Structure 1
Amino acid sequence: MLNFSKIKILIIYLSFIFFGFFSLLNFQSEKNVIIDKKVNLGLDLQGGSYLLLEIDTDPLIKERIQDKVIPLKKLLSKNDIDYKNFSIENKKIKFVIKPENLSKFNLLFFSKDENLLNPYIDQYNSFQLDLEEENNQLTIFFSKFGILSINNSALKQSIEIVRRRIDDVGTKEPTILQRGNKRILVELPGLKDPERIKELLGKTAQLNFRLVSETSNDFGSEKLISETGEELTVSKRIIMSGENLVDAQPRLDTQSNQPGVSFTLDRLGAQKFGKVTSENVGKRIAIVLDNKIISAPSIREAITSGNGSISGNFTFQEVTDLSLLLRSGALPTPLNVVEERTVGPDLGVDSIKSGTISLIVGFILVIIFMVFKYRVFGVIANISLISNLIMLIGILTILEATLTLPGIAGIILTVGMAVDANVLIFERIKEELKTEKSSIHAFDIGYNKAKITVLDANITTLLAAAILFAFGSGPIKGFAVTLGIGIMTTLFSAYFIARHLTSLIVLRRKDNIRL
């Protein structure tokens, strides 16, 4: 029906005003204190930094093979299998057993029942470890699928930690994506100097607490260098790791007036720390970050509260970064920068200019065509088109979406879809005017009959946009978002705004109408 109730009219134009208000936020020069929302520009539009990182799993595999030593020795001891010449080299465990124990060990090693040493990976239908035998010497190493499983797990964990670290810095709308089996793509729009980000991502931030050994030749100890250059012998036994931290914040020591980091431990960490500090009062405890001692204070009293602090020769920027690293968690592997690019703002300006020109040219051509072809109803179609774009920008602003060049392409395609919807409707009305005596009836039937075709075309495109969003990444998702929102605003503007404006003219002129 061409008649619109007052409530329906109110809802239509209040919706338009609501989205129009948000679209205007993008054009104000000063920051809005109450509503701080804008469409963010992507790397290709405003410039920024591009980093391609690669995980280095060699240290992790060495650590994991080392972790297998105790379960392996327990398995051998439990089953009365004698061994000799035990060694670890090149990420492999080697040892010699008696020939009569070979088949027994093989059965235990490749057992699927509660195998703590060599778990079965259902995803790959393979064991984590593999075994070679030569002259009674056994060599244990990670299988191809075991390494793949470690890689995948480390990559997923690294992506999450990279995201946390970058979010803590406050970078707007970063793009962090997996690339292949070992690489992470990081795009940082608006960031001209990526050095601080590289520094933050270049540290694994493996934090642990260990006791300083009283003598330099203690068994189970190693020598590490402190920040001041002092060489200390510390126990290899880790009292507590960074996994037990729940918070870390920069602070200023009121006594020394030096910056430091205050930390809070979880319940298990607090219990461990309390027990160790109560048993070792007077001794020194080394706080080790990435295998380097950053502080080695003396234990004056038992610390059972779960709160502590790290102090040293730090600047305030260093303690801020250290707090951030500890909060975000330790990277499972080091990250190496494989590729680095900085996109200058000039390139972004050129991209915006090109995209804007193409949108304006297309828009003007559409306006001229619609007015020439459909006269006053062409003007209505153009008003509908403008309102469509205003609402689209308004929704993108509410979502604080990132606009890229593919996103601009999605907006241009939206213009085409909107014009197509109006052309379909008006051509259908033309056909009805030839057979219907009443113009009001012809317009009503025309809108209703065109609805199926318009919905079919737009819903099909919406499904395509949903698939692109689900399986695409980065720029493809940006295109899918603008296209999907554009389709919904197109249907709203064509069947509510344009139809209402059309009804005002048709009901006023009645049968004196030409299309």
Structure 2
Amino acid sequence: MLNRFPLWKNILIILVVLFGVIYALPNLYPDEFAIQVSGESSSRELGEADLKRTTEALEQAGIDFFAPEVVDNTIRLRFDSNESQLSARSVVERQMGDEYVVALNLLPSTPDWLKGLGAEPMKLGLDLRGGVHFLMEVDLDKALQTNIEVYQSELKTRFREEKLRYRELDISNPTTIMVRFRDEDTRDEALNFTRREFGTFLAEAVDNGDSFDLKLTVLDSEIRSIEEYAINQNLSTLRNRVNELGVAEPLVQRQGRGRIVVQLPGVQDTALAKRVIGATATLEFRLEAKPDEAAINTQKFDFRSENRSAIVERDVIITGSSVTNANQSFDETGQPQVNIKLDGPGGSKMLRVTRNAVQRRMAVLFVEDKERTNNIERNGEVVQERERYTEKGLISLATIQSPLGNEFRITGLDSPAEASELALLLRSGALAAPMYFVEERTIGPSLGAQNIEAGLKSMLLGFVLVLIFMVAVYRVFGLFANLALLANVFILIAIMSMFSATLTLPGIAGIVLTVGMAVDANVLIYERIREELRKGMPVQAAIHAGYDRAFVSIFDGNITTLIAAVILFAVGTGPIKGFAITLSIGIATSMFTAIMLTRAMTNLVYGGKRLDTIQIGSRKSITPPEVTSAPATGSRS
């Protein structure tokens, strides 16, 4: 029978619509203002005693709060207004002290019964929720310098092992190492050895009077590899550090050749965010200097947490970029230690150095690249200039018990907390190159609320105009299209919520565009039905043909739009990707609702019935023309 769906198809449609309604519901519950309190270091455990201190301070200050809780080693308290939230942060900061970090946040207010079904609201982007935006520049020149210093140290070690005596081994520029030999034979032997063992250099023999030099230039391909690694390593490290803030849906992505964008929705404390992001640093592993070593080959550093110092060699064994994993544990005597795992090249370098350094101590150096403002007098005026400087401090000095390879342990730590902090630092990764803040700005929650209001108004206005147009032009069929349109929005939002997609202002534009596309599909179907009726096709056959024959046009139009959305997602960044994702999901949902759902409603009302006429236009009912025999004409004799 024409225009009747089987039972299973009707049940499937009902289930999909029900899914859309349930999983879109959490988005109707607004986020609540909140503060979250965590330890300055991840090793600090927060419990009920800390929660009690926090709540008592707020009660004494007369600030109302609700739903206090400790979740994932973080204290959370909620407030009715942004003013109470800001006042509470100041009170809690004074009460808890510098050992704790107090951050502003927005927390969902989804009912427990929806949470039990796994229903969560969509994450809001920076333009809708407010937050902080940073643009950071990676010092790629410093990345090259750091790597060539490691090459220099490795060359010294390998030349000593091969008994290739040289006069001097210096870095002449950021990409070239010059090695001077006393005789030509040794230089040529070193040239062959370098070409055989070091594929990262272009090795050339250079004669300068009485010296025989070996010029080692880092290949262009290696330079590009170093730069790419520096960017990717910094991205990974930043993401790990940003996660310490507990921010929902942070954005950390590359921009251009050497810049990284960091966006933290919901965070309004720029100083806090800068402190956490700026905590990124590099690590260096070096041997402690021997008592008889010349001062020119050693450096003295202070411990970061203790009032003592140590003298270490200038040569760097490896940096923290070679660490792939680190975990805190205890040794056989119950003392804290950190278990280290290195990548392949890092493990090879560590083994070569430490097999001749058993019972010596190895230092772990924490290196931070910072900026400070200096007042400089120039032409009789005092001007401020930003100065970049490097700060280094020891965090560990432990004895090497046996040759170290890809896996080893650091002992001699003072406490489990210190071991936990060191493991966290190593595990989260070190920067392959320093970074500096180029731009920073704060987007307030009020601006985010205005964006949401403007976006919702535009979507609601477009939705209402479409509803009026469809009912005015297509009457009952227009009502079917409007109900399907409403279901389409619910299903679209439900899918985005299920996949934890981030909604931005361009994403709202994608939803508005989806509404228009969904209506366009129904217009094609209804006009096709009207055309078939005008041709004289019976009502049921015209409805059936209208849906079937319009499908090809609808499918082609949506596929071309989907291809454009995929291209936008592939080449776009940030908001463009958000628009592309919303549009892609909207295409799939509008195809379902415009074709399957409206046809199900049409079948429910008209299917299986004998119909001589049908109301599918604003002017008059369309009745299939009757076919009658023409009267015979002729002359009588």
| Superposed displacement of residue 206, structure 1 | 1.0
Structure 2 residue aligned with 1:380:
480
Residues 350 and 492 of structure 1: is their aligned pair in 2 closer, same or farther, counting only changes over 3 Å? same
- Which one-letter code corresponds to 1:358 in the other structure? S
CA spacing shift, 1:416–1:262, aligned 2, 3 Å: farther
Q: 8 Å contact 2:504–2:575 — kept in the other structure?
A: yes
Aligned residue among 558, 565, 584 for 1:484: 584
The match for 1:116 is: 198
State the Cα distance separating 1:222 from its structure 2 match: 2.2
Shift of 1:444: 0.7
Which deviates further from its counterpart, 322-331 or 333-342?
322-331
SS of residue paired to 1:513 = coil
Instruction: Return the structure number with greater relative CO, CA threshold 8 A, min gap 6.
Output: 1
In the aligned structure 1, how far is the partner of 2:139 from the partner of 2:552? 56
**For the structure 1 residues 130 and 443, does the alpha-carbon distance in structure 2 shift closer, same or farther, using more than 3 Å as the test?**
farther
Counterpart for residue 249 of structure 2: 173
Distance 1:98 1:162 in 2: 47
Distance 1:189 1:406 in 2: 16
Aligned to 1:122: none
Aligned counterpart for 2:266 among listed residues 178, 190, 193 = 190
**1:329 is aligned to 2:436:** no
- Shift in CA distance, 134/446, structure 1 to aligned 2, threshold 3 Å: farther
Cα offsets for 1:243-264 (capped at 9, x unmatched): 456334599xxx99xxxx8532
Q: 1:342-384 CA distances to partner (integer Å, 9 max, x unpaired)?
A: 1111111111111111100000000000010011111111001
Q: Describe the SS at the equivalent of 2:453.
A: helix
Residues 442-498 of structure 1, C-alpha deviations (whole Å, 9 max, x = no match): 111111111111111111111111121222221111111111110111110011111
Structure 1 residues 36, 293: closer, same or farther in 2, change over 3 A?
A: farther
Contact 1:465 1:480 in 2 (8 A): yes
How far, CA to CA, are the matches of 2:536 and 2:550 in structure 1? 16
Cα distance change on mapping 1:511 and 1:103 into 2, 3 Å: farther
State the alpha-carbon separation in 2 of the partners of residues 297 and 118 from structure 1. Answer: 32
Q: CA, structure 1 residues 448+72, in 2 after alignment: closer, same or farther (shift >3 Å)?
A: same
Structure 1 or 2: more helix by fraction: 1
SS of corresponding position for 1:13: helix
Aligned to 2:604: 504
Q: Is the 8 A contact 2:191 2:214 kept in 1?
A: no
Give the Å deviation of 1:512: 3.3
Aligned to 2:308: 230
Write the distance in 2 (CA, Å) between the matches of 1:502 and 1:310: 77
Give the match's secondary structure for 1:184: strand
Partners of 2:141 and 2:496 lie apart in 1 by 43
| 1:55 Cα deviation from its structure 2 partner | 1.4
Corresponding letter in the other structure for 1:265: I
- Tell me how far 1:397 sits from its aligned partner: 0.6
The reply on whether 1:45 has 2:128 as its aligned counterpart is yes
Counting aligned pairs with the same residue, the percent is 35
Separation of aligned partners in 2, 1:286 and 1:12: 66
**Mapped partners of 1:70, 1:311: distance in 2:** 27
Q: How big is each residue's C-alpha offset from its partner over 1:146-173, in whole Å with a ceiling of 9 and x where there is no partner?
A: 4333212211222222223323543221
- 1:450 maps onto 2:550 in alignment: yes
SS at 2:431's partner residue?
coil
Cα distance in 2 for partners of 1:307, 1:72 equals: 26
Shift in CA distance, 365/321, structure 1 to aligned 2, threshold 3 Å: farther
In the TM superposition, what whole-angstrom CA distance separates every residue of 1:191-235 from its partner, at most 9, and x where no partner exists?
Answer: 222444433443324153644655785785321122234332124
Partner of 2:170 in structure 1?
Answer: 87
Residues 36, 365 of structure 1: alpha-carbon distance in 2 compared, 3 angstrom cutoff:
closer
Q: Is the 8 A contact 1:131 1:141 kept in 2?
A: no
- TM-score for the superposition, normalised by structure 2: 0.67
Q: Secondary structure at the match of 1:375?
A: helix
Once the two structures are TM-superposed, the CA of residue 88 in structure 1 deviates from its matched residue by: 3.1
Instruction: Please give the secondary structure, in 1, of the residue aligned with 2:135.
Output: strand
Is 1:164 the counterpart of 2:265? The answer is no
Distance 2:164 2:312 in 1: 34
Contact 1:248/1:264 (CA < 8 Å) preserved in 2? yes
The aligned residue for residue 124 of structure 1 is: none
Q: 189-198 or 499-508: which moved more?
A: 189-198
What is the CA-CA distance between 1:62 and the residue it aligns to?
A: 2.5
Change (3 A) 1:37 1:21: same
Q: Which residue of 2 aligns with 1:460?
A: 560
Contact 2:298 2:312 in 1 (8 A): yes
CA separation of 1:87 and 1:207: change in aligned 2, threshold 3 A: closer
- The answer to whether structure 1 residue 362 and structure 2 residue 462 are counterparts is yes
Task: Report the alpha carbon displacement of residue 405 of structure 1 after superposing the two structures with TM.
Answer: 0.9
Query: Unpaired runs of 5+ in structure 1?
Result: 120-126
**Structure 1: distance between partners of 2:273 and 2:308:** 29
Higher strand share: 2
CA distance in 2, matches of 1:36, 1:132: 70
- Go from structure 1 to structure 2 and tell me whether the alpha carbon gap of 1:102 and 1:334 turns closer, same or farther (over 3 Å shift): same
The whole-number CA distance in structure 1 between the counterparts of 2:161 and 2:426 is: 40
Amino acid at match of 1:232: A
Letter of the structure 1 residue corresponding to residue 283 of structure 2: Q
Task: Kindly report which structure 2 residues correspond to 1:401-420, keeping only aligned pairs within 5 A, or say none.
Answer: 401-420=501-520
Q: Distance in 1 between matches of 2:173 and 2:319?
A: 26
User: How many angstroms apart in 1 are the aligned matches of 2:544 and 2:501?
Assistant: 38
Q: Distance in 2 between matches of 1:308 and 1:36?
A: 45
- Is it true that 1:469 corresponds to 2:584 in the alignment? no
Aligned match of 1:293: 394
**Could you say which residue in structure 2 is the equivalent of 1:17?**
18
Q: Give the secondary-structure state (helix, strand or coil) at the position aligned to 2:510.
A: helix
Report the Cα offset of residue 23 of structure 1: 0.7
Change (3 A) 1:46 1:423: same
Equivalent runs, 1:18-37 vs 2, <5 Å:
18-28=19-29, 29-30=109-110, 32=112, 33-34=115-116, 35=118, 37=120
User: What SS does structure 2 have at the residue aligned with 1:93?
Assistant: strand
Q: Aligned letter for 1:354?
A: A
Selected match of 2:145 from 62, 73, 81: 62
Q: CA deviation at 1:237?
A: 6.2
Conserved 8 A contact 1:244-1:266: yes
Aligned residue for 1:147?
223
| Pairing 1:119-130 to 2, within 5 Å after superposition | 119=201
Structure 1 residue 18: Cα displacement: 1.6
Distance 2:428 2:569 in 1: 28
Deviations 1:91-134 (A, max 9, x none): 3433456897799699859x9x7451545xxxxxxx5x788876
**Between 90-99 and 220-229, the greater mean CA deviation after superposition:** 90-99
Alignment-derived partner of residue 263 in structure 1: 338
The answer to whether 1:208 aligns with 2:291 is no
TM-aligned CA distance change 1:393 to 1:85, over 3 Å = closer
Contact 2:286/2:314 (8 A) holds in 1 = no
More displaced, 140-149 or 438-447? 140-149
1:349 to 2:449 alignment: yes
State the alpha-carbon separation in 1 of the partners of residues 184 and 292 from structure 2: 44
Assess if the C-alpha contact under 8 Å between 1:250 and 1:323 holds in 2: no
Q: Indicate conservation of the 8 Å contact 1:59/1:333, yes or no.
A: yes
